[in-house]
Amino acid sequence: MPAIDSYIMRFNPDIQQRLMVIRRTALDVFGSVEEKLYYTLPAFCSNGKVIMFYGAYKKHISICVGNDWVDFLQYQYPQFQYTQFTILFQHNEPFPDDVVQVICDLLKPGIQSKCSR
């Protein structure tokens, strides 16, 4: 079983479903990128550079978007918690598929600029 599948299967079905939303959305938006584990977390990479990584924890799922996008996302979506590099989605709240789509759309131009180097 591939490493990303193994990571996702460790969690209960509700968390698996949320992780799969992130994975499917990112693959749809990013196109042909490499999936791998980055510091034990699922990540999407292009030309050896990490575009985004995500993970599930006891009380939340986080997506690392980098500090370039945290301020923008905090302004657009103040209802979520943030760290310096990540946005957090609590397990006890509805999962925002639409926000995952926005995050992937924001990060997509970074793939093209990294690929052109």
Domain enclosing residue 103, as ranges:
3-115
CATH code of the domain covering residue 15: 3.90.1150.200
User: What residue type is assigned to position 64 of the chain?
Assistant: C
pLDDT-derived band at 115 (thresholds 50, 70, 90) equals very low
Q: For residue 116, what pLDDT is reported?
A: 34
Maximum Cα–Cα distance for the chain, whole Å? Answer: 42
Comparing 49 with 63, the larger pLDDT belongs to 63
Which of residues 58 and 67 earns the better pLDDT score?
58
CB 38 within 8 A of CB 116: no
Q: How far is CA 15 from CA 27, 74, 86, in A?
A: 18, 23, 18
- The number of folded domains in the chain is 1
What pLDDT band is residue 68 in, cutting at 50, 70 and 90? confident
Mean pLDDT in residue range 91-95: 96
Structural contact between residues 29 and 44, judged by C-beta atoms closer than 8 angstroms: no
The model's pTM is 0.90
